[in-house]
Amino acid sequence: MRAIITIDLGFGMSGKGSVIDALTFKNNTGLIVRTSGGSHCSQNVVLPDGTHHCFSQFGSGLLANPTLKTLNSSDVKIEPLGMCIEAKRLETLGIPDPLKQSYIHEECLITTPYHIALNRIKELSRGENRYGSTGHGIGETTDYFFAVAELAPMIKHLRNRALLISVLKQCQELITPQAVSCVDMQNPACLAALELLKWSPEELATEYLAFAQATNIVDWEKSREILQAEEPPVIFQGSQGVLLDSCCGFFPYVTSNDTTGCAAKTFISEMDISGETFTLGITRSYLTRHGLGPFPTEDEPTETSGMINTEAHNVFNEYQRDFRMGWFDTQLFQYALGCAAECDALCVTHTEYFDKIKTVKIGVRYEEDGKPFLLRGEKGAEQTLDLSTANVIYGFVKQSDFNTLLSVMSGLPVWMTSHGPTRHQKIM
C-alpha cells in the first residue's frame, strides 16, 4: 500500500500515537504527513522501558525511527516556540535533529502567543459554560485568518523579517483589545494569559527566524517531491477525533480542524500520489472525553463501575477540566463511521481494560419518551441537545465477542488490537 491514513473515531485520545509508533516500526516508515491539527495534539508513545513522549508537532513514529521525516501540510497550524521545546525534549530521547527532519508548508498558519492568550482568556471567561478548549490558541488562529486572510502570520512570512514584524504587530494590535475586554482580573490564570500579549513583535520575530533556520520550509512542489521520493507506506497522522470535528461534531464543543481523514485524502489527490490507500479507523474499547460536552455513556469513576483513570498524561487541567470515561457507545461509533472518510479496517485499543472489569457494558441505543431515536445528522446545537438528553439503553457483551460485534456493525475487519501502551503490545 502507498499510504496509511489514521482516523480517531471517538472524542480523541484513542491511542493514535501508540498505533502510529507500531505502524512505523513494523513498516520501517520514513515519512509521516500531518494534514490537520496544531500544537494541541497530544499523542502518547510509550517505549518498552517505560520512556514516553506525548507527540504534539512531530510525527508520532519518531521513537520507532529516529530518522523519520515529518511533513506538515498547509492545513496544519504551527506554534514555533512550542515546537522548539518539543524538539529539545526529543533530542534527550535520542532523536538527533528533530527540527531538521521536519518539513513545513509555507502556507501553514502560525499560532502566536497572542492567539494563545485570547483563547485562554475567552475560555476562562465562559466559566461553567466552557467549550473544553485545550488553551493552545488553535481556534483563534483559524478565526483570525478568516478575519484578515493573507495578513495572518504564516510560515512564508519567516522569509522576510520586516514583513514578519508587520504581520505580528497587526496581530498583537487587533487581538489585545479583544483579550483585555473579557479578562477577569481576579483570576490568576487570566492574568498569566494576559502576560503572553506582552511579547514584542520584534522579539517574537527573532525567535521565529531562528526557528526557520533550524527547520525546512517547503512549497507545493517540494512537498510533492518529498512524498514521491519516499518508500511506501507513508503514514498520515490524524488529529483529535471525528466526534470533535468542526462539521460533524457537537457544537459548540468542537475543534476548528478536520478530523475525519478527508483532508488527508484531499492532500493525496492534490499531490498526485498513486497507489493503494489504506484507511484505519481507531477506537478505544470504551469511550473517553477530555473536556466539556455531551457524553451519554459517561460513568462515575468508582471501583464499582471500573472507570478509574490510570493515564498520567490524561489528567485534569485548567482548560479541558476533567478526563472523563464511559462505556462503548454503538450509536456514536456508527455515527463517527458515517462522518469519517471511508475506512478499510478498524483498530481497537486499550483492550487490556477488559481485564479490570467483569462485565463489558455497551450503549446499544438511545430512547426518548420510551421511543428509540437516532442522531439526526444535523449540524449545530440541536443535535448537541439531543445527545445531552439521550437516555441510553445498555447491553452486555463478552470480551471475546467484542471485536466481532464491531465488525458486524461496521462491515469492517478488526485489523489491529492494542493490549497495552507499547508497540510490542499491538497485534495485527
Tell me the pLDDT band of 369, cut-offs 50, 70 and 90. confident
18 and 143 inside one domain: no
Task: Among 214, 235, 267, identify where a domain stops.
Answer: 214
Task: Measure the CA–CA gap between 267 and 274, rounded to whole angstroms.
Answer: 12
58 and 179 inside one domain: no
Residue type, 145: F
**Residue 105: its H or E element:** strand 102-105
**Global model pTM greater than 0.75:** yes
Span 404-422, average pLDDT: 93
Task: Measure the CA–CA gap between 280 and 277, rounded to whole angstroms.
Answer: 10
**How high is the pLDDT of residue 129?**
66
Cis-peptide, bond into residue 413, ω within 30° of zero: no
Q: What is the pLDDT of residues 196-241, one digit of tens each?
A: 999 999 999 999 999 999 999 999 999 999 998 888 899 999 888 8
Q: Is the pLDDT of residue 125 over 90?
A: no
Residues whose CB is less than 8 angstroms from the CB of residue 114 and which lie 6 or more positions away in sequence, other chains included: 171, 172, 175, 176, 179, 196, 197, 199
66 and 210 inside one domain: no
204 and 235 inside one domain: no
Task: Among 178, 199, 214, identify where a domain stops.
Answer: 214
Find out whether 78 and 109 touch, Cβ atoms under 8 Å.
yes
CA 294, chain centre distance (Å): 19
61 and 202 inside one domain: no
Q: Is the pLDDT of residue 304 over 70?
A: no
Domain of residue 265, residue span: 3-105+219-427
How distant, in Å, are the alpha carbons of 184, 190, 323 from that of 315? 25, 21, 6
Q: Is the pLDDT of residue 275 over 80?
A: no
What are residue 415's phi and psi, to 5 degrees?
-85, -30
299 and 423 inside one domain: yes
Q: Which residue has the higher pLDDT, 382 or 198?
A: 198
Task: Measure the CA–CA gap between 203 and 2, rounded to whole angstroms.
Answer: 43
Residue 1: HSE in the Cβ half-sphere, 13 Å Cα cutoff = 15
**How high is the pLDDT of residue 318?**
62
93 and 229 inside one domain: yes
**How high is the pLDDT of residue 381?**
63
From the list 283, 262, 325, 237, the residue with the least C-alpha distance to 410 is 283
Question: Strand ranges (DSSP E) for 241-390?
Answer: 277-284, 287-290, 323-326, 328-329, 345-349, 360-368, 371-373
Task: Among 164, 185, 214, identify where a domain stops.
Answer: 214
Q: Is the pLDDT of residue 312 over 80?
A: no
175 and 30 inside one domain: no
Q: What is the pLDDT of residues 71-104, one digit of tens each?
A: 999 999 999 999 999 999 999 999 999 999 999 9
Indicate the number of domains in the chain: 2
Q: What is the Cα Rg of the chain in Å?
A: 21
351 and 230 inside one domain: yes
Q: Is the pLDDT of residue 186 over 90?
A: no
235 and 364 inside one domain: yes
DSSP string, 246-271: TTTS-TTS--SS--SSHHHHHHHHHT
Query: Residue 338's domain is classified under what CATH number?
Result: 3.40.440.10
Span 35-64, average pLDDT: 90
121 and 64 inside one domain: no
From the list 41, 48, 112, 113, the residue with the least C-alpha distance to 70 is 41
Tell me the pLDDT band of 248, cut-offs 50, 70 and 90. confident
Tell me the pLDDT band of 281, cut-offs 50, 70 and 90. very high
Across 138-152, 157-171, 256-270, the highest mean pLDDT is recorded for 157-171
| Mean pLDDT computed over every residue of the chain | 88
How distant, in Å, are the alpha carbons of 112, 148, 201 from that of 198? 12, 22, 9
254 and 227 inside one domain: yes
| Bridging pattern class, strands 102-105 and 69-72 | parallel
Span 158-171, average pLDDT: 97
Query: Residue 129's domain is classified under what CATH number?
Result: 1.10.300
Lowest average pLDDT, out of 125-134, 176-185, 305-314, 415-424, goes to: 305-314
